[in-house]
Structure 1
């Protein structure tokens, strides 16, 4: 079964059948996939985008004046799979602690060859995998030569797989550091690391400034309530700072020697907390899909301080979501719903 014929496969959706396959969190939870497989899937999606074969428009955002919630909608087309998809993301309770927040995200896939739906699924696991995979690819392409140390800030969903993915693309990392305050999150980070790399452990740091000064690669994944804010003058020459959530001060962007973004347009939508006093951003030197394709430079010299903004690309959600849909449908998981009857 090829990617482009998924919807027409008799094991998934028979030809002419307009029912929708629903894949729940539980359906997807037990599906095994190697970290290297995730990295390869995400990298392929970025390369296809860079070659002009896919479409990844800027995401739409709505947010009330008091900031208690935020919602995103992302439409895209994966040209290598001939799949169109819509992703929605809604978080409520941004003014509350993490335990009181609600988060829902879905991905709906359509086969653009047959014109039939593929599946609608919870996108939580897909996002928890594709984002650290992109961070790891950014590290592979933009880290200083001979990088040996990495610091992850935050122990939430994105922080928990950051180190295993970094070790997948940078296996020579020696010192692994973690800055976090939630005991359950710290335990989860350690558990994920040992699940994938049983012989490795992470060092919990309390002096963030000293840890940042020793890190070749920093990945900031903390939530919006964090007090962590690594400044530009904390960083060693050559350091790579990757922003996923929070944990870096705006100076790391504005004083960087080189700025790389998965999407410059999306950085200006979702990264407003990194803008300067006038609401401005420095120019982006390279978008990451072009770096992967070799048509743009992710790092110029060994001593450049590089800032990378990982805002996520819906084409990576589509590629990985489609991969999960194939795995799930091969195992006859999910529920068919006659949504359009």
Structure 2
């Protein structure tokens, strides 16, 4: 047996786990277009029945000071299985006093070996605005020219660059936020990807909403912003990621689209009506994206879209990052099962 054969046999049975830290993931370059393409493929694969995305598990104490999620999924094109965990502590505190940890562990479903375990913070910070941008591309009214983002946290900071990627004809980019450092971060992110573009900071939310073709609400739970359905122009698309939309935008919408109706029923309870009920969705987004279900059906209908994220998108993007990391020799190998 040759040395090369010995090495191949060793790699074929390498059960060590490569751990990719926050700094490892932060050092990997990836374009916004690449992120959108990966996320779109994950949705299309799910719509075609090649992937699995079971409902997430949630635990939360009675006083609501923390929340934890566990999500399992399988990508049938990449042939990987993965588990994502998420834990946030201090929900009643300001953002800088909260603790948040999320991790993704990926296994190769062909070899049966582990691929990597990684901090999933950057994965989520890219995946979620990419999904919102895809929702906007598919559901915005024809000729949409203006977008409003509510919130300047993690999800708000990349919302505009992704929207400008999928809707390049947007000529008015607006931001509603109350944290100066967050506003500065949003402006910096936009100029990083689009040096010639700037964001308009709005203080009259109602007036800004009346002119917005696309509204993406990403604010935290402490926000005072609450866009009402009566503020929306005909044909407006409202995308809920975090907070910033009043329940009326959902219950009075002409059409409701969700990335997952089951997940909306789990995580969207703050949008319930006085009887504690949520309306049925008209369509889920994966089949809309794949052309199997109708998205927008008229130019003037007001659409509400719920972006809860699906673990298959985390898996696809996480696997892409793992491939790039392995090619660069990043990460630390841990003999966890040896």
* Equivalent residue pairs, number: 331
Residue 85 of structure 2 aligns to a residue whose secondary structure is strand
| Residue number in structure 2 paired with 1:186 | 183
| Residue number in structure 2 paired with 1:256 | 253
| Residue number in structure 1 paired with 2:119 | 122
| Residue number in structure 2 paired with 1:49 | 46
User: What are the Cα deviations for residues 74-96 of structure 1, in whole angstroms up to 9, with x where unaligned?
Assistant: 00000001100000000000011
Distance in 2 (alpha carbons) for counterparts of 1:303 and 1:147: 12
| Residue number in structure 2 paired with 1:4 | none
| Residue number in structure 2 paired with 1:148 | 145
Residue segments in structure 2 that go unaligned for 5+ positions in a row: 1-6
Residues 1-341 of structure 1: pairs in structure 2 closer than 5 A: 14-341=11-338
RMSD: 1.0
Distance in 2 (alpha carbons) for counterparts of 1:211 and 1:78: 40
Q: CA deviation at 1:15?
A: 1.1
Residue 198 of structure 2 aligns to a residue whose secondary structure is coil
Residue 105 of structure 2 aligns to a residue whose secondary structure is strand
Distance in 1 (alpha carbons) for counterparts of 2:272 and 2:119: 32
Q: CA deviation at 1:161?
A: 0.3
Distance in 2 (alpha carbons) for counterparts of 1:224 and 1:71: 16
* Larger CA deviation: 277-286 vs 224-233: 277-286
Q: CA deviation at 1:133?
A: 0.3
Distance in 2 (alpha carbons) for counterparts of 1:89 and 1:229: 26
| Residue number in structure 1 paired with 2:3 | none
Distance in 2 (alpha carbons) for counterparts of 1:239 and 1:17: 52
Distance in 2 (alpha carbons) for counterparts of 1:234 and 1:255: 12
User: What are the Cα deviations for residues 150-209 of structure 1, in whole angstroms up to 9, with x where unaligned?
Assistant: 000000000000000000000000100000000110000000000000000000000000
Distance in 1 (alpha carbons) for counterparts of 2:105 and 2:11: 18
TM-score using structure 2 length: 0.97
Distance in 1 (alpha carbons) for counterparts of 2:297 and 2:222: 34
- The runs of at least 4 consecutive aligned structure 1 residues that moved more than 2 Å come to none
Distance in 2 (alpha carbons) for counterparts of 1:275 and 1:104: 28
Distance in 2 (alpha carbons) for counterparts of 1:45 and 1:166: 19
Distance in 2 (alpha carbons) for counterparts of 1:221 and 1:184: 16
Distance in 1 (alpha carbons) for counterparts of 2:119 and 2:282: 34
User: What are the Cα deviations for residues 282-319 of structure 1, in whole angstroms up to 9, with x where unaligned?
Assistant: 11001000001101111010000000000000000000
Residue segments in structure 1 that go unaligned for 5+ positions in a row: 1-9
User: What are the Cα deviations for residues 244-277 of structure 1, in whole angstroms up to 9, with x where unaligned?
Assistant: 0000000000000000000000000011100112
Distance in 2 (alpha carbons) for counterparts of 1:258 and 1:115: 43
Residue 12 of structure 2 aligns to a residue whose secondary structure is coil
Q: CA deviation at 1:340?
A: 1.2
